[in-house]
A and B are shown apart, each in its own frame.
Chain A
Amino acid sequence: MAAFKKGRKITRKLKKRRFRRKKVCPFKADSTLVEQLNYKNLELLMRFITDRGKILPRRITGVSAKYQRALALEVKRARQIALLPYAVQD
């Protein structure tokens, strides 16, 4: 039984092995973006939020952990001063 389970696991792994281009953190790729990252730069921040106003997860945007933290802070600042919404209702 155990062997069967193991086998299944392997096939599942194989199934999931698909080609995916490695994402690069946009802030690490372009250091000028780091300087531009602040709550006033809505053009930049809007690239990382959904149209409902939520912050996009790193797995979607490829932002590194370091800059995701910085980005989240700036989005929250922008929300506080009503530049960005906390939530967009239907």
Chain B
Amino acid sequence: MAEPLFYNEYETVFIIRPDIDDASLNTYVERIGGAITSQAGVITKVENWGKRNLAYPVKKQLTGHYALYQYAGKPGITDEVERLFRTSDLVLKFMTVVLKTRVLAEEFAAVEDKTFTTLKVGGPEKDFTSHRDDRRDGGRFRDDHQEGRHGRDDDDMDDDDAEVSSDTMETSPARGGDE
């Protein structure tokens, strides 16, 4: 009786140099896909996020083509894929995330459409690398420390609390300060 075959599911994002043309980009991405299938992997998703700004410079580049493969295979399949990334000078950065472990191999179905089409995923792009001049001072959370707020002993029901919070903490959905 055959042993049941278990696969792990992985997701690999990699960033390709911004200065290559579309044709070689597609060839490279297809080569990675080929490497996955040659290792008996099942590709379950291909995504092209297009050219995005990097949050910080990588190998002196400020932008890069993002690509994503989601695939299932035996443990160790990532070794071959990551070896390709390491030996290639086209790839700026890559990251593999384990999505599921020990799932029966039959449960994975390959995507029919393996074309590397551009999808806008990954959310908003923000330019983190350029100089920011709207910077506030580093003590933005001073309000939440224990000091201060003297001479306000009696107002137990202070509803001006909301006012204070809205201009100090615009990035947070709610206000803190649990003592």
Q: Does B bind A?
A: yes
Q: B58: which A residues are within 8 A, CB to CB?
A: 82
A71 at interface by CB-CB < 8 Å: no
**What is the 8 Å Cβ interface bit string for chain A, positions 21-58, against chain B (1 contact, 0 not)?**
00110100000000000011111101111110100111
B5 at interface by CB-CB < 8 Å: no
The answer to whether B124 and A90 have CB atoms under 8 Å apart is: no
The answer to whether A46 and B124 have CB atoms under 8 Å apart is: yes
Q: Kindly name the residue among B124, B156, B161, B176 whose own CB sees the greatest number of chain A CB atoms within 10 A.
A: B176
The answer to whether B176 and A23 have CB atoms under 8 Å apart is: yes
Q: B172: which A residues are within 8 A, CB to CB?
A: 47-48, 56, 60-61
Q: A53: which B residues are within 8 A, CB to CB?
A: 55, 128
The answer to whether B55 and A85 have CB atoms under 8 Å apart is: yes
State the Cβ distance, A10 to closest chain B Cβ, in Å: 13
The answer to whether A88 and B132 have CB atoms under 8 Å apart is: yes
Q: B129: which A residues are within 8 A, CB to CB?
A: 85
Question: What is the total of A-B residue contacts with beta carbons within 8 Å?
Answer: 108
The answer to whether A82 and B93 have CB atoms under 8 Å apart is: yes
A86 at interface by CB-CB < 8 Å: yes
Q: How big is chain A's contact interface, by range?
A: 35 or more
Q: How big is chain B's contact interface, by range?
A: 35 or more
The answer to whether B169 and A19 have CB atoms under 8 Å apart is: no
The answer to whether A81 and B144 have CB atoms under 8 Å apart is: no
Give the complex CA separation of A46 and B172 in angstroms. Answer: 9
| Residues 9-25 (chain A) with a chain B CB within 8 angstroms | 14-20, 23-24
A83 at interface by CB-CB < 8 Å: yes
**What is the 8 Å Cβ interface bit string for chain B, positions 47-59, against chain A (1 contact, 0 not)?**
0000010111010
**What is the 8 Å Cβ interface bit string for chain B, positions 105-146, against chain A (1 contact, 0 not)?**
000000000000000011110101101100100001100100
Question: Which residue of chain A lies nearest to B55 when distances are taken between CB atoms in the complex?
Answer: A85
Q: B135: which A residues are within 8 A, CB to CB?
A: 90
Question: Which of B92, B94, B128, B144 contacts A59 (CB under 8 A)?
Answer: B144
Give the complex CA separation of A47 and B157 in angstroms. Answer: 28
Q: A14: which B residues are within 8 A, CB to CB?
A: 153
Give the complex CA separation of A41 and B64 in angstroms. Answer: 18
Contacts A82-B15, A84-B55, A88-B128; A62 near B176 (Cβ below 8 A): yes
B20 at interface by CB-CB < 8 Å: no
Q: A61: which B residues are within 8 A, CB to CB?
A: 172-174, 176
